[in-house]
A and B are shown apart, each in its own frame.
Chain A
Amino acid sequence: MGLQRGVAIIGAGMTRFHHKIHADKTGRDLFVEAALEAMASVDNGIELRDIEALFIGNFSSDSFEHQGHVAALMADWLGLTPRAATRIEAACGSSGAALNIGVMAIASGLYDVVMVGGVEKMRTLTTEEVTDVLAMASDEVYEAAVGFTFPGLYAAMATAHFHRYGSTWEQLCAVSIKNHHNGSLNPKAQFQEEVIDIARRLGERRGMTFKDEMEFLRSPLNPVVAYPLRLFDCCPISDGAAAVIMASEEVARRFTDTPIYVRGIGQASDTMALHDREDLTSIRATRLAAQQAYRMAGLGPEDIDVADVHDCFTIAEVVATEDLGFFPKGEGGKAAEEGRTSLEGDKPINPDGGLKAKGHPVGATGAAMAYEMFKQLRGEADKRQVRDAEVGLIHNVGASGATVVVQIYGR
């Protein structure tokens, strides 16, 4: 099945993702900032009254800010009332799921222009409290109750992947080093610093010197979070928001000469508990969502010039690049180690720094991926621009893979 009519992104905006600088802002402040930037990015201008509906991805403002019903709140604060406003929750895949619903809302013919956004204000809580909230996205009864954390689930996938394919923690480090490099080129990223520069800075403070990144990553300055994953294998806790404006093919060119078309969408679910999955080294929902999106687009993995994949943990990027068909199963780690996923590689992955360096305000991540593809495919990504990027893909995952959304875009 295809879309009943074409859909394009005509504008995109996001706040910088960060763990500190937004301390004095609430979720609504962050969302309005991202939404206004998205509106300002529309080449020929857009008015609030042009936006007919709002879809907001948000995981847990209830726990983080003691605030529910956030879609109406965002519509209110942006001045969008009385337009329809709906919140979509799918853990870390919330705004990815919202993007799909935005596409469907336009493709159905109901609306011509909608805004899809995501927001999460997480730094209201301590790391321990955030760990508790994120664990709610796993199976409370059968996983969290025996002691699994969110990093723990991906760590378990890593041990299974290492065992079956002989992949290594050193390969995971290559993902982290590459994403920090890309983040250093992205003014919106939480961490804009190479791993080697972080090593130098932290080492100086403690009178330690490191001859290279690996020596630093093996040191106590990179503590184990959930074996085999260490701090630099994990995305940070972040505050931030992102928004994109979508329009029907018929009206898109009224707003811009360079719309970015949605070529394919896909979404799948899987068992909530990791232990119930048919394969612990692969995320089936990624494979199924990608199949749907590739088929709708009439494209295959070989046609993708640039992709943002859900690297909440380094192992997640390795598994995603395999499940999306970029590399054979078991060879994602090797591909990262060989530099094939770098900005200059044959399959650039996470040019924005990924969740690892750009940051991961969970409900905002899918929309921020769409923002990045909007910039990349329009040639507006400055220092992190992937050369000649014409087809882009985003891959947004809820928790350990019980929800996956894939979208493919083209010029």
Chain B
Amino acid sequence: MFTVKDYRDALAEGYLLASKCRRCGAVQLPPRPICPRCGSGDLESLKAPKRGRVAAYTVIHVPPSRFKGEEPYAVAIVELLEGVRVSGRMLDVSEADLRVGLEVEADVIKLGEEPLLCFRPLKRP
């Protein structure tokens, strides 16, 4: 059974842990103990792809206390597989360039002791 710790440990190792239902094939990121589509508990682990597109975003100007002083900072919901999305911090992008549909790539940085999922615009060669 997948726990929050499994996801965090994977993140600390630099990858995105998802769960895939062995019965119906639904993919969940972060991983879940039960498949929300069919109710099965028979799930396998899957490394989610790191490239995706911004589905929604914001730039936080009034931060919570733990991120005080970092504002303004951008947060995005990124779609990595069809219908599979996750929230992460956006780095290396100006407010003007940030838009829905922007191609991004996941990275993990350390925030104190905690791994933080972040995304950067994909650099085209």
Contact = CB atoms under 8 A, between A and B. Distances in A.
Contacts of A157: 56
B62 A225 contact: yes
**Which of B55, B67, B83: most chain A CB closer than 10 A?**
B55
Given A128-B64, A147-B63, A142 B87 contact: yes
B87 A227 contact: no
A67 interface: no
A251 B77 CA distance: 51
B100 A146 contact: no
A152 B100 contact: no
A105 interface: no
B116 interface: yes
Interface in B39-90: 55-68, 70, 72-73, 75-77, 83, 85-89
B114 interface: yes
A274 B59 contact: no
A159 interface: yes
B70 to A, nearest CB: 8
Given A274-B87, A275-B85, A146 B75 contact: yes
B121 interface: no
Contact of B61 (A128, A224, A275): A224
Contact of A275 (B4, B87, B114): B87
A156 B90 CA distance: 13
B86 A147 contact: no
Contacts of B89: 146-147
B101 interface: yes
Contact of B58 (A141, A152, A163, A276): A152
Interface residues of A, number: 38
A149 B87 contact: no
B95 interface: yes
B21 interface: no
B16 to A, nearest CB: 12
A135 B75 CA distance: 14
Given A128-B68, A157-B56, A274-B77, A149 B63 contact: yes
Contacts of B56: 156-157, 159-160, 274, 280
Contacts of A344: none
A159 B117 contact: no
B60 to A, nearest CB: 5
A155 interface: yes
B62 A149 contact: yes
B88 A132 contact: no
Contacts of A228: 58
A152 B55 contact: no
A224 B95 CA distance: 12
A142 to B, nearest CB: 6
A62 interface: no
A271 B117 CA distance: 20
A145 interface: yes
Contacts of B95: 227
A333 interface: no
Contacts of A274: 56, 77, 87
Contacts of A144: 64
Given A146-B87, A156-B56, A278-B83, A225 B77 contact: no
A127 interface: yes
Contacts of A223: 61
Given A146-B89, A146-B117, A149-B64, 4 more contacts: A145-B114, A145-B116, A146-B116, A149-B62
Interface of B: 4, 30, 36, 55-68, 70, 72-73, 75-77, 83, 85-89, 95, 99-101, 114, 116-118
18 contacts: A128-B68, A132-B65, A142-B30, A146-B117, A146-B118, A148-B75, A151-B62, A152-B58, A153-B58, A159-B100, A160-B55, A160-B56, A160-B77, A225-B62, A226-B60, A228-B58, A271-B36, A275-B86
Considering the complex of A and B, which 9 residue pairs feature the smallest CB-CB distances, nearest first? A155-B58, A227-B59, A156-B56, A163-B100, A160-B56, A275-B85, A275-B77, A152-B58, A224-B61
